Amino acid sequence: MKFTIKTILLLAVVCFFVQCKKETSQKNVLLAKNTVQHAKGFSIENYEGYSVVKVSNPWPNASKSYTYILKKEKGIVPDSLQNNPVINVPIKSIVVTSTTHIPSLEMLDVEKTLVGFPNLKYISSEKVRTLINEGKVKELGSNQSLNTEVLIDLQPDVIIGYSIDNDTKSLDNLEKSGLKVLLNGDWNEETPLGKAEWIKLFGALYDKQDKANELYTIIEKDYLKTIDIAKLDSIVPTILVGDMFQDKWYLPKGTSWGSILLKQANANYLWSETTGTGSLSLSFETVYFKAKDADFWITSGQFSTLQEMLDANTHYGQFEAFKKGNVYSFTRKKGETGGVLYYELAPNRPDMVLKDLVKILHPDLLPGYEPFFFEKLK
C-alpha cells in the first residue's frame, strides 16, 4: 500500500488528537485537597471520579507508606496510579479487624455492611451484636491468622486490617488470594482528635465523605469547647492512673493519648513530664512515693469495686484517693458478651471521654451532665 505525504500527515494529525484526548481523559483533576487535619497517619485527596488515600504511619516508626485508589463507578484512574490497589466505591460489604473500627460504621449508618470480624465476643455495640446473633457477621478467628477460607467465601469489598509492626504476611497472603486489604493506623495516632478523624477514611470508602466530615466537625467542636470549659477552674487536681499487673504498675507516658486527655481536662497528671505514647512500667514503691496524695485515681479497668482492689493488693488502701473514694473505672459498661465499651468507642469519641473527665475533676463546670464511660467505684 502506498502512502502519499498528505496521507501520512493526515494520519499523524489524527493520532495526535487521539493521544491528546486519551491524555486529557486521564488527567488528574483535583477536586479537593487533603482535609485531614489532626490525624498524622493518613490523607485523602479527591479527584474527578476517584480518591487517593495514603496511609503513611500504619505502625510506630513505619518505614513505608501505602496508597489506595478509591474508584467511583464511572471514574477513570490514570495509568500512573494503576499499580496501587484499586477499591470500587461505594463499598457494599466490609470486614474490619478492630473494635475501634465499628463506631465509624455505626455513625455512618452502614453497620449492616459488616460481614466478618475476628473474635466476635469482644464487640460491645448493641446494633452489631444483633447482627451477630442473626448470623449476619461471621467469626474470622484471630487477627494473626484470619480464616482465609471464610473470607474468600464472603468476598468482602474490602478488609480493614492493621499491624503492630512491619510483619504483614497474613494480610499480604489475603491480597494474594485476590482480596482487597486496606491498612488502618488509627491506634497509632498520638492525639485524641487524630484517632477520631479516621472516620473520614470510612466516609471515603462508602462515598459519604460529607457526612463523615460533618460528624467529625461536631466531635471536634465539642471537644475544643470542653477544653475551654475545663480551663475555667483555677484548681488543677492531681491524678493517678492505672494499677498493678504482674508486679508492675502500668501508667500512660506523658505524650500518650490518655495523658493528653488528662491535661486537656485541666488535671495535673503526675507523670506528664515523661515522653512517649506507650506505657510506663514502674514498681509499686515508685508510684506510691509520688502519688500517695493524689486527688483522683482512674484505674486500668481490672476492678469493679473498691473491695476487689483491696483483695488484689491491700496497699491500694493507703492512697489518699482511695481513702476519699475518688477512684473511677470504665469497665462496668460492657456488651452482652463481656466486651468493654470504652475500648471500642472511646477512641472515636474523645469529646465524650473529655466531658467525663471534666465532670469528675471539676463537677461544677458541667451541671446536669452524667459521665458516659466512667463510674466511681463503690
DSSP assignment letter at 255: T
| Per-residue model confidence (pLDDT) at position 14 | 47
**Amino acid letter, residue 262:** L
For residue 153, how far is the Cα from the chain centroid? 27
Residues 6+ apart with CB under 8 A from 54: 42, 43, 65, 66, 67, 68
For the chain, how many helices (H) and strands (E)? 14, 20
Alpha carbon distance 363, 60 (integer Å): 37
Buried b / exposed e across 332-362, counting CB within 10 Å, b at 16+? eeebeeebbbbbbbbbbbbbbbbbbbbbbbb
| Per-residue model confidence (pLDDT) at position 62 | 84
| Per-residue model confidence (pLDDT) at position 21 | 46
Tens of pLDDT along the chain (378 residues) come to 555 655 544 555 444 444 544 444 455 677 667 889 999 999 999 999 999 999 998 888 888 899 999 999 999 999 999 999 999 999 999 999 999 999 999 999 999 999 999 999 999 999 999 999 999 999 999 877 899 999 999 999 999 998 888 888 888 889 999 999 999 999 989 899 999 999 999 999 999 999 999 999 999 999 999 999 999 999 999 999 999 988 899 999 998 999 999 999 999 999 999 988 888 999 999 999 999 999 999 998 788 899 999 999 999 999 999 999 999 999 888 888 888 899 999 999 999 999 999 999 999 999 999 999 999 999
For residue 64, how far is the Cα from the chain centroid? 20
| Per-residue model confidence (pLDDT) at position 43 | 96
Structural domains of the chain, ranges and CATH numbers in brackets:
30-220 (3.40.50.1980), 231-376 (3.40.50.1980)
Alpha carbon distance 364, 288 (integer Å): 29
Alpha carbon distance 233, 363 (integer Å): 10
Phi, psi for residue 98 in degrees, rounded to 5: -135, 140
Alpha carbon distance 129, 110 (integer Å): 14
Beta-bridge mates of residue 158: 94
Model pTM? 0.89
Residues 6+ apart with CB under 8 A from 80: none
Residues 6+ apart with CB under 8 A from 112: 131, 136
**The total number of residues written for the chain in this structure:** 378
Nearest to 247 by CA among 301, 298, 306, 315: 315
**Amino acid letter, residue 223:** Y
Say whether the peptide bond before residue 103 is cis (omega within 30 degrees of 0): no
Element (DSSP H or E) covering residue 124 = none
